[in-house]
Amino acid sequence: MKKRTTWARTVALLLTLGLAAAACGDDGGSSDAAIGSPGSTATGSTGGSASTAALTPQKGGSITVSMFSETRGLDPAASSGSGTAGGTELSQIYDTLVRWNPDTRAYDMRTAASVTSNAPGSEWTIKLKSGIKFRDGSAYDAEALRFNFERNMTTVNSSTSRAWLNYVIGDSKNVTVVDPLTVKVVLKVADAGFPALLAHSPGMLVSPTALKALGDPTAADYKAKYDAFNLKPTGAGAGAFEVESFTKGESLVLKRSTSWYGGEAYLDTIKFVVLSSDKGVDGLKTGTVNVAFLRTPVSVANSKAEKATGGIDNVIQAGDLLLVNQGTKLTCKDAKPAPLCTGQPDGQITTKPATANPLVRAAVAAAIDPAVINTRVNDGKALPTTALFQKDFSDTPGVEGIKADPAAAKKLLDQAKAAGFDGKIRVLCTNQPERVALAQTLETQLKAVGFDVTARSDLDTAAQITEIVTNKDYDIACWGLSVPNDETAPLSLVQNFWSASPNNRVGYANPEWDAGLNVLLGAKDATARKAAYKTMADLWNKDVPSVVFNAVIERIAYQNKVHGVYANESSMFYLDKAWIEK
């Protein structure tokens, strides 16, 4: 415990001095509830915020929160669970077992009383606080925790956490009830950062009673019942707020719960809406929005320039990148999905995009100049880089990315053409203004080295996802990852590039990478983590699973009259201690 706590304080000091970039600002939450290194024990209470401590909170009132995208549903198994895709909203409804504290770079207890491990980090014991109940009156206990872990490891879970849990735990039989409030988890892969799962969607427990009330999943009416539950999971959570209404495409309204274990929240209601980052900044200025999640470089810069707003920043590695399709597995049935399954028999095929050729991937990486993209797309306000981990990452291994080199790109492309490549490549982006500009810039850079480019930027986000995730019909695509400056960073690499991950969009499969992930997860200190990250960064440059062109700042911006907003990992944030100055 002592070693980890000392390291956490050291990093916190560096953050204060500006020598490392992490989430900072009005997220508060002083605590002695930090989980230490494997073999240590931690206990503690729910954190608050520095601004709440300085002023007397005022109860009542409502706030409007602008988010980056709409959650796919209000069941944690149906939502991606990060700050960009539902995690914040669901945290208010279900709470989490623990919270990642960006100030201490350790963990505070939420519904868990303690989380401990053996020395190798291969066995973890989770003890829950006593007296907590779900809003339907059922026990928030060890069996509920075991039930949720088991459920989240099946295909019922369409969120990112399924890949994480199956990678780290492997089999739900490895999660066992020790006593009414204690669960033991035996890991398939030793993971020093296992509590990161508990601060994310796997740590958002859903009432087993509420789920079982939906009936037989094979029944004809089950889907309709589940769809209704996914819009209004009445009684299913144990968080500070419960659902008042959820109208898809419009808003999610939460109201204060009267049965939250932490006492009553200050706000009466919270309204979540989805606005572009620029409109979120405008809303903060006009007062139509009180809190806004921002992700575009221009909006973040504009928010920081506003004296009437504050914010919490999190630097995301690989926040902007190009997915580079190496050939993915696609299951055909009745010649669908088209066009790749047209004329194919039923069964699994491996797609053959232009970028399956390693010379083509290397040529693309050398052709892309992040500095040019920054100037033409982001008004020079981004964090251009080709490195998987840039210098602001706390455990940066110091590995530079692939340098833009048009001459080298042309040479690689010529080699590919000499071996039979026709030079044609497709670029797939969405129709947001910044993505349209990005598509045009990419087209120019790729043409300059000799590619025959077809660029599309006419699809909305949902249509682009269908092309990539369902149809798997693309060469390179504008995309973004979330590799945060916290202990979910390794899990993001598992989710997106582990060879067996259901969320591996590009078909990357390298046993060295998979082995490197195991080493990274088991790393117990900064030295070991940096060495493991160096292995991953070197493999990234050699194999080109995708092409990074920006690190991204995700900013939780709020009006100065809003207090008590504090952050979790993956740019999620809590509002149970938030209040508005009247």
Task: Give the model's pLDDT for residue 17.
Answer: 31
pLDDT, tens digit, for every residue of 92-132?
999 999 999 999 989 999 999 999 999 999 999 999 999 99
Name the residue with higher pLDDT: 318 or 52: 318
Tens-place pLDDT, residues 147-198:
999 999 988 888 888 888 998 999 999 999 999 999 999 999 999 999 999 9
pLDDT digit string, tens, across residues 400-448: 999 999 999 999 999 999 999 999 999 999 998 889 999 999 999 999 9
User: Comparing C-alpha atoms, which of 373, 357, 377 is closest to residue 421?
Assistant: 357
pLDDT digits (tens, 9 = 90+) for 33-54: 333 333 333 333 333 344 445 7
For 466-509, write each residue's pLDDT tens digit: 999 899 999 999 998 888 888 889 888 988 999 988 889 999 99
Out of 80-89, 238-247, 350-359, 552-561, which region has the weakest mean confidence (pLDDT)?
80-89
pLDDT over threshold 60, residue 23: no
337 upstream amide cis, omega within 30 of 0: yes
pLDDT tens digit sequence for 253-275: 999 999 999 999 999 999 999 98
Segments making up each domain of the chain, as ranges: 2-308+560-580, 316-553
Mean pLDDT of 295-307: 91
pLDDT of residue 461: 82
Does this chain's domain 2-308+560-580 share its CATH topology with 316-553? Answer: no
**Residue 350's pLDDT is what?**
92
Helices (H), 449-573: 461-465, 489-497, 511-522, 526-543
Instruction: State the average pLDDT over residues 218-224.
Output: 93
Q: What is the Cα–Cα distance from 330 to 323, expressed in whole angstroms?
A: 17
Note whether 156 and 77 are within 8 A (CB).
yes
Amino acid (1-letter code) at residue 453: V
CATH class of 316-553: alpha beta
Contacts of 369 (CB under 8 A, 6+ apart): 404, 445
Q: Is 217 helix (H, G, I), strand (E, B) or coil?
A: coil
Give domain 2-308+560-580's CATH superfamily.
Periplasmic binding protein-like II (3.40.190.10)
**Cα-based distances in Å from 81 to 71, 73, 149:** 8, 10, 15
